[in-house]
Amino acid sequence: MSDIWLISFVLILALVGLMRWGRTKLPFPPGPRGYPIIGNLLDMPSELQWEKYSEWSKKYGSDIIYLNVLGNSIVVLNSYKAVNDLLSVRSSLYSDSTMLNELLGWGRMMSFMPYGEKWRTHRRAFWQEFNPKNAPDHQPTQLRYSRDLLRRLLKEPQRFLHHIDHTLSASIIALVYGLDVKPEHDPNVERAEKALVQLQEASISGSFVVDLLPFLKYIPSWMPGGGFKAYAERVRPDTIAMREMPYEEGCGLLREGKGNSCVISRSLARGGYSIDSHPDRELIKNVAWIAYAGGAETSRSVVSTFVAAMLLYPEVQRKGQNELDSYLGSRLPVFEDLPHLPYVHAIMLEALRWQSVGPLGVAHRLTMDDEYKGYFIPKGSTVFVNVWALLRDEECHPDPDTFNPERFLKDGKLNPKTLDSNPNFGFGRRICPGRFFAMDSILISVASTLFCFDITKAKDAGGRDIEPDIRYAPASSRQVLPFECSIKPRSAQAATLILNSELV
């Protein structure tokens, strides 16, 4: 029986190869040569894929790299130009990942929707709530949780990564659903963390055989090779629970007249419908879920990276603190102060650049044959943006491994040319509509923490410095692994400001 399966498998691969070979006489983009039948299966890196793709881009002298794994085409874009030409200008051709959309339950997430009317409807609804004009609706809650972060750091500085994760997740949940979050072990926070870990696992190219051979999605989970489907069946309920449960909890409060102003309350109030009869109920639920999943994940990664950078680059920390001291005097920062703090803003932008949140972006699947620079890109190709490589392009970012906020400044002010695009938030029509909201949340947390605390090397039992060991989990969304540092108030006055601050 196993021999029949093997023969059938090889014949299918051969047929797929012949069909593709007959479509065009144009060559595929450059890449490792590979082997018959299995293609580049043995070449595929198991971790830090973005670094290997960048290495291949330099080796083959091409900003577009091609791999074939068991008959499936994988294309990696390694330059701003290639990304703009394909994912912005031709965005209608590039859609989503099989495993994520169809099996794990993330298909209602706007980031994974193919370009079309459904995607446009979701984007309009999201932008209606999260465009910069609505920032005043969000900033009081963002400020409240930035102050909560300060209090937590003052009380238990050794748990700084936990405090960052908790307060940024809590901020999103309060803003989106109008829910108060428990100080510890909040079910909505823990539910989101569990589902997002599963998303990260599934986002890595080649993690599941169905991403390499999409037709396998039709086989039952008990069949040999169907383990990916059993995994999907096990974790899909977590994705669904993350989408459904906080929404229903928020709606329950609104029915009782106890709900706070939030994304779902404002959205459900439009049109004069009741909560349960609203015609856009599913759309509102999806928009809330998108903000919930995307906002906390990006923000906590960047703020954690900021802490690591201040530990490694104390001179940058001092410059930021000097700017804050000069402008604020003896009060905590508020949102109105942020436009007057260009160096602190540049620190945040450099944290986004220095360690990219999503080094391979979101996988796209090509819906039609395409041609680019004289190369043939076949329908069904999985297309990745090497965000990590873009942020280390030495023409745009000299000395890219150094944390240097000055690269975003000109004559002491933010340089508009460096603000035009940030690949962490996507490109063209698919650029993240929540980027302004996310950066507001990050910036107020960065400014508040920098103003109140010194971040220095931890000491061992003998009083010697512990050299920092900053590493990141090798997942599609990079989160810094636990590391040791000392976080102490800069002065007694700073501690008093934290304790006396109002949690508005």
Is-contact 12 361, C-beta < 8 A? no
485 is in an annotated binding site: no
Question: Would you kindly state where each structural domain of the chain is located, as residue ranges?
Answer: 94-356+391-500
Residue 3: per-residue pLDDT = 47
208: which residues sit within 8 A by CB, 6+ positions away?
99, 202, 228, 231
3-state secondary structure of 3: helix
Burial label, 468 (beta-carbon count in 10 A; 0-12, 13-18, 19+) = middle
- Distant-in-sequence, close-in-space partners of 77: CB < 8 Å, separation ≥ 6: 63, 64, 83, 86, 87, 383, 384, 385, 386
Give the helix ranges, DSSP H, for 156-226. Answer: 160-177, 187-203, 209-212
Q: Show pLDDT as tens, one digit a residue, over the chain (504 residues).
A: 444 454 455 555 555 554 554 556 799 999 999 898 888 888 888 788 899 999 999 999 999 999 998 888 899 999 988 888 887 656 555 555 555 566 677 777 777 777 778 888 988 989 989 999 999 999 999 999 999 999 999 999 999 999 999 999 999 999 999 998 888 888 888 888 888 777 766 655 455 556 556 666 666 666 665 566 777 777 788 888 888 999 999 999 999 988 788 999 999 988 778 888 899 999 999 999 888 887 777 888 999 999 999 999 999 999 999 999 999 999 999 999 999 999 999 999 999 999 988 888 777 778 788 898 999 999 888 888 999 999 998 888 899 999 999 999 999 899 887 776 678 887 766 778 888 899 999 999 999 999 999 999 999 988 899 999 999 887 767 888 999 999 999 999 999 999 988 755
Q: How many other CB atoms are there within 10 angstroms of residue 61's CB atom?
A: 7
Taking the C-alpha atoms of residue 320 and residue 447, their distance in angstroms, rounded to an integer, is 8
Tokens of 42: 């043995």
Exposure string over 389-421, b if 16+ CB within 10 A, otherwise e: bbbbbeebbeebeebbbebbbeeeebbeebeeb
Q: Which two tokens stand for residue 478?
A: 């990079």
Check if the beta carbon of residue 156 is closer than 8 Å to that of residue 318: no
This prediction's pTM: 0.86
Cα–Cα distances in Å, from 59 out to 64, 161, 273, 381?
12, 38, 60, 22
Ramachandran bin of 48, using left for φ above 0, alpha for ψ from -120 to 50, beta for the remaining angles:
left
HEC string for 260-312? CCCHHHHHHHCCCCCCCCCCCHHHHHHHHHHHHHHHHHHHHHHHHHHHHHHHH
Res 202: pLDDT: 63
Return the structure tokens found at 74. 């994988």
CB-CB contact of 149 with 449 (8 Å): yes
CATH class for domain 94-356+391-500? Answer: mainly alpha
Those residues with Cβ within 8 angstroms of residue 248's Cβ, 6 or more apart along the chain or in another chain: none
Residue with token string 């290997």? 52
pLDDT of residue 84: 81
Count the residues in the chain.
504
Distance between CA 59 and CA 78 in Å, rounded? 12
- Which residue do the tokens 């604020």 mark? 328
Burial 67-101 (b: 16+ CB within 10 A, else e): bbbbbbbbbbbbbbebbebbbeebbebbbbbbbbb
